[in-house]
Amino acid sequence: MNTTVNLAGIELKNPVMTASGTFGSGEEYSEFVDLNRLGAVVTKGVANVPWPGNPTPRIAETHGGMLNAIGLQNPGMEVFCARDIPFLKQFDTKIIVNVCGKSAEDYCEVVERLADEPVDMLEINISCPNVKEGGIAFGQNPASVEAITREVKKHAKQPVIMKLSPNVTDITAMAKAAEAGGADALSLINTITGMKIDVHRQKFALANRTGGLSGPAIKPIAVRMVYQAANAVRLPIIGMGGIATWEDAIEFILAGATAVSTGTANFYNPSVTVEIVEGIEKYMEKYHIENISDIIGMVK
């Protein structure tokens, strides 16, 4: 039984990764799961300088999901390189660094800083709905998706994953734009912009008014977009959005994802990632699947 997958030339021992921003740099969850069991750890977004994030409340529970407007709080690339990369290097897993920025220059600065670090891949977040500048603004228009991809690729030594926003009319247009710009892989979906109002206090539930919706509630939207993107481009796709069980992971793989990430589910089931790794193995056994890569995009 072979669970390895090839993600733009990087071989993962299995397709299970963590979704950026829900797993820090792995330290906190390393108490709950053996990081050596994961295909890759994707870090929280890293900027060129520390970002303080948004005011609180930053999250709100919704039916089957949650809204977040963390606002990409992070210590900046220098602390990250000094502290988080050495931590992750202790484990036999791939390191994918999620990069955020307010301008093309910001992204490129981080990408250059990481060029000689022992990082396996870069995931460029052009889809965060919770920051005023940068973030989603780059990810909702094919021309700017293509431009930012091309720019980042110029500076990147590692393979580049573009993380797409679901807040678009046509995900295939964005996927094609990223492909045209030279992306090596795609991640989708980021969160969907949502809002909650507290009817008793007659106020927004989040200080930021809107936030990004994640969790099982959005899974059918994510599966659809992964399917559409997988059938529109040749790039490998990292599927995410509401994955909480191994069945969910398989669903994304059958739809066309080469790898999958778990986000919100970590919060209520800290060992979910490893449970998914084990579930995938059992599934392969039950249905006599030799290579997990054989079933990528099998449902057409």
**Binding site residues, a copy of itself, CB under 8 A:** 62-65, 67, 140, 167-170, 192-197, 199, 202-204, 210-211, 213, 216-221, 223-224, 227, 242, 247, 250-251, 254-255, 283, 295, 298-299
For residue 78, what are the contacts with CB-CB under 8 A and spacing of at least 6?
A: 113
Cβ distance to ligand FMN smaller for residue 93 or 125: 125
Could you give the count of Cα atoms lying within 13 Å of 219 in the half-sphere of its Cβ? Answer: 23
Q: Let me know: does 146 contact 181? Beta carbons within 8 Å.
A: yes
| 128 noted as active-site residue | yes
User: Could you tell me how many residues of this chain bind other proteins (CB under 8 A)?
Assistant: 45
Residue 54 annotated in ligand binding: no
Residue 292 site contact among a copy of itself, other proteins, ligand FMN, none (CB < 5 to 8 Å, cut-off depends on kind): none
Angstrom distances, CA of residue 30 to CA of 93, 212, 231, 266: 12, 26, 36, 12
**Is 125 one of the binding residues for ligand FMN (CB under 6 A)?**
yes
Cβ distance to other proteins smaller for residue 134 or 236: 134
Cβ distance to other proteins smaller for residue 21 or 139: 21
Q: Rounded to an integer, what distance in angstroms lies between the CA atom of residue 243 and that of residue 266?
A: 10
Give the active site residue among 81, 100, 108, 128: 128
Q: Which residue has the tokens 């390191």?
A: 95
CB of 235 to other proteins, least distance (A): 29
Q: Rounded to an integer, what distance in angstroms lies between the CA atom of residue 207 and that of residue 203?
A: 9
SS (HEC) of 193-243: EEECEECCCCEECCCCCEEEEECHHHHHHHHHHHHHHHCCCCCCEEEECCC
Residue 241 annotated in ligand binding: yes
User: Which residues contact ligand FMN by CB under 6 A?
Assistant: 19-22, 44-45, 68, 70, 72, 98, 125, 128, 163, 190-191, 214-215, 218, 240-243, 262-265
Catalytic residue ranges = 128
